[in-house]
Every structure is written in C-alpha cells, then in structure tokens.
Structure 1
Amino acid sequence: MKTFETDEIKLIPLTEAQVVVFNKEPEKIIADLGVNNKTLFNPDVLQEINDKVVLPRLRAATAEEAVFHTRWLAVDKATNQVVAELMVKQGPDATGAIEIGYGVYPEFAGQGWMTKIVAAFLQWAKQHPKVKLVWAETAKDNLSSIRVLEKNGFAKFRENSLFYYWRVSIEK
C-alpha cells in the first residue's frame, strides 16, 4: 500500500503482514519502517482490535480496498517519529462515506498533531475516487477531538447521550 505525504506528515497504511508483526513485535515495525520511536502505542485493546477487526477485514479485502481496513501510522517527517495512528473504521459504503477513528501518542498530545493528521488524511481522501464523505464520532467530553474535527471543517450532524457524530463532504 502506498504512503501519502504532505510537507510535514507521512501517512503509512500498514499491510496485513505489518499488522501481524505490530501485534507481536511492535519494535520490529519500528526497525522495518526506519522510524525513530522507542515504542509504538499498542495496548491490549488495540491488539484485540487488530485480531478481531483489522486482520479479518484485511484478509477479506482486495488489494484496492485494503487501505480502508487497516491501521495507518502518522509520521512527523521532521523527526521521523510516529506521532499518532488513524484507522478507517467503516466504509466506503454505497454513498462513498467512510468513518475514521484516531489517537495521538501521549507524548505528542496537545501539539496540534491530530489536526494536521486529519487534514492530511482528508487530502488523501480527495484523491480517492470512492470517498465522498468522511465521518467520525467523539465522546461529548472529548474536547480535544471535537476541536480537531471542527478545525478540519467537520459539522455535527447527530448526537446521542454519549457521542457527537461529525461529517465533512469531500470535494473533488
């Protein structure tokens, strides 16, 4: 799968083999990708997501669809460090909608990385013919994530007792 780059960020969609290695030996991914991190964010919950969601979806996907079923690592090009991860949680559906989820590594929180990373991903989405809309959910008390989405032009379109739901149209 091809990486996508802006001036500041490199987005790396992991292959199936890389996700398998990431689960067992995240330090090997550090070496394989040539990044400067000492560790990667891989708590047990993400390993469970990899095993129960990411890997089955990747194994069932065509080569063209794989980018919609994997974890993406976001690398700060200036320091060559993975600063965050992003994932397409659903889609594209028949309308061209995809759902994203993301998380910044704790040592990079509060530095504006997620805003830049989501912006970079939206640039990638503009180049992908199947993507017409990107949406995300945030916990109502997750003010940082809410700001990330607002700064990237997402608008709230629904809510329930726990979450806000946001979307942005992809202009081609």
Structure 2
Amino acid sequence: MLEIKAERLKLVALDARLAGLQSRAPEAFFEALGVQSEASWPPELMDKSAMDWCEEQLSAQPDAEGWYFWAFIWPGFMSGMDRLVGGGGFKGPPDQNGAVEIGYSMLVSFREQGLATEAVNALVEWAFSSGQVREVVAETLPHLIASQRVLEKTGFVETGSREEDGMKILRFALQREKAAA
C-alpha cells in the first residue's frame, strides 16, 4: 500500500481492490485498513457514485494509485485503535499542463482539529514531489468557509470563480514554485 506519514495522520492511497471494498463491503474495507469501524463513513461528498467512479478509474489505470482517493487515518486515536477520520485525493493523474485537482472531506466528529489542513499539506507535498505536478487546484462552494480556510492555510490562493447549474464555485490554486518558497 502507498502511504504518506504526516504529523498525526497516516494517509493510505486506495487501489482498485480497496476502492471496491469501500462501496460494497465497508466492514472488509475497515479491516483491510486496520481501522475501527466507522458508522458515519463515508464523509460528506463521497457518495456511492464517487466511490464507484474511483474504483472504475483505478481498475482501468492500476498504475495511477495515488492520483485518486486516499484514506486519512489517525493512528492510535484515543481508544488506542486507528480511526478513519476522512478522505481525499485527486481527480486523476496530472494533465498535460502538470495540474491536478484536489478534494477532501472529514467526518463531522473530526473537523476543526487541523486534520484536514495536515492531510492537504501531505497530499500537496506528495504531488509536487512526483516531479509531474506544476500546480494543484481546488474548487469549493462560497458557504464552505472551513474548506476555504484549509486551502488558505496550505498556501492556496483564490484565482476566480465559475457558475455551474446556477451555483457559484470558487477556484483556488497553488503552484509548485510558490509552495517551495
């Protein structure tokens, strides 16, 4: 398994097998990750169609592990058991311009503890260290202030907005040169 170690978190990249377990056999998914069962899994915005899409992408591109979903695990949380606290990752490998889009979501009980910021930092560092990524972009909704704060704390700057289905979407970006500075 592809892993990133952060200060308080371990991030595990899903492969096609883990992605399939996540949507079809959650208990087997938790067991495979070595984490406590989470009744509130998955976090917001990670619905069944997103999980199925992730599995399809990883099945079609097994060498793209790391460019899709990562599980955010808090090792030895208060109970001594590892806890699955959130997830996120990228919407695929870098495009021809060296850009990837990042997304993330935390379980409600693990928000406002700096864990999302820690996970986003770790994912951004991993992407830039690949040598394939020049820019990481993110989109969020105007009312998701906590998500915007995560992006700002990790060095992203707002670069504009767009409309989709009558809804305004804010766009943020972080370039490798600025992250290294």
Tell me the distance in 2 between the aligned counterparts of 1:83 and 1:55.
Answer: 20
1:6-60, Cα deviation, whole Å (9 max, x unpaired) = 2321110111011111111111111121113433623796211222x21221122
Residues 25, 76 of structure 1: CA spacing in aligned structure 2 closer, same or farther, 3 A cutoff?
A: same
The question of 1:73 aligning with 2:71 is answered yes
Asked if structure 2 preserves the Cα contact closer than 8 Å seen for 1:9 and 1:120, the reply is no
SS in 1 for 2:150: helix
Asked if structure 1 preserves the Cα contact closer than 8 Å seen for 2:6 and 2:122, the reply is yes
Tell me the distance in 2 between the aligned counterparts of 1:18 and 1:91.
Answer: 18
Identity within the alignment, %: 27
The aligned amino acid for 1:66 is E
Q: TM-score, normalised by structure 2?
A: 0.85
Q: How does 1:18-167 map to 2 (within 5 A)?
A: 18-39=18-39, 41-42=41-42, 46-51=47-52, 53-63=53-63, 65-68=64-67, 70-79=68-77, 80-161=82-163, 162-167=168-173
The alpha-carbon deviation at position 62 of structure 1 amounts to 4.3
1:71-95, Cα deviation, whole Å (9 max, x unpaired) = 2101123412111100211440011
Residues 76, 45 of structure 1: CA spacing in aligned structure 2 closer, same or farther, 3 A cutoff?
A: closer
1:133-153, Cα deviation, whole Å (9 max, x unpaired) = 111001011100000000000
Tell me the distance in 1 between the aligned counterparts of 2:56 and 2:30.
Answer: 23
Aligned pairs, number: 169
Tell me the distance in 1 between the aligned counterparts of 2:76 and 2:7.
Answer: 9
Q: Which runs of 4+ in 1 moved over 4 A?
A: none
Residues 77, 126 of structure 1: CA spacing in aligned structure 2 closer, same or farther, 3 A cutoff?
A: farther
Aligned to 2:175: 169
Q: TM-score, normalised by structure 1?
A: 0.89
Aligned to 1:16: 16
Residues 95, 87 of structure 1: CA spacing in aligned structure 2 closer, same or farther, 3 A cutoff?
A: same
Q: CA RMSD in A?
A: 2.0
SS in 1 for 2:41: coil
Asked if structure 2 preserves the Cα contact closer than 8 Å seen for 1:91 and 1:99, the reply is no
Asked if structure 1 preserves the Cα contact closer than 8 Å seen for 2:102 and 2:137, the reply is yes
Asked if structure 2 preserves the Cα contact closer than 8 Å seen for 1:11 and 1:74, the reply is yes
Structure 2: stretches of 5+ with no match in the other structure: none
SS in 2 for 1:57: helix
